[in-house]
Structures are given as structure tokens and as C-alpha cells.
Amino acid sequence: MSGEQRSWQDDAEAHPAREYLTYILSGLITLGLVGWIVGLISHHVWFAYVGAGIGVLIGIYLAWRHHVDRQRSAGERP
């Protein structure tokens, strides 16, 4: 075991695009699936598209919010 251990925060700071892409894809998949299930129940296919679109928007917002919070916490460090 090496003397220097890396945490997930160090990895996220080294590769921010991967982290943001993860937020966006997880929102797309999660709400896309919810919309697809609601569309199957209600017999309206467009629910899947609406759910996927809202999922992408929420993923973008969460990625931006996490970026802002990380910058704010980095500024508070001595």
C-alpha cells in the first residue's frame, strides 16, 4: 500500500467532465425510465421523452450546483 491514498474527491477534481457526465446520464436514465413506465401505464409514449428531457435538465443543474459548492469550499480552505 502506498503512503499516499487518493479519495473519490481527488479523483473528481482531476476529472470534472467525467463527474458532470455522470450526473447528466444518471438523470437521463432515471427519469427516462420513470417516464417510460408512466407512458406504458397511460398509453402515451411522449412521457418517456418528457422524463428524459427533465432528467437531463436536473442532471445539468446538479452538476453545476456541485461545481459551485466545490469552488466555494475550496475558497474557504486556509
Structural contact between residues 53 and 24, judged by C-beta atoms closer than 8 angstroms: no
**Cα(13)–Cα(67) distance, integer angstroms:** 10
Report whether pLDDT(4) > 90: no
Cα separation values, 37 from 47, 61, 62, 75, Å: 8, 24, 24, 43
Confidence of residue 73 (pLDDT cuts 50, 70, 90): confident
Show contacts of 9-16: CB within 8 Å, 24+ apart.
Answer: 13/70, 16/67
Instruction: Return the higher-pLDDT residue of 66 and 3.
Output: 66
pLDDT tens digits along 11-53: 666 677 888 899 999 999 999 999 999 999 999 999 999 999 9
Are 58 and 27 contacting, i.e. CB atoms less than 8 angstroms apart? yes
Domain boundaries, the chain: 17-71
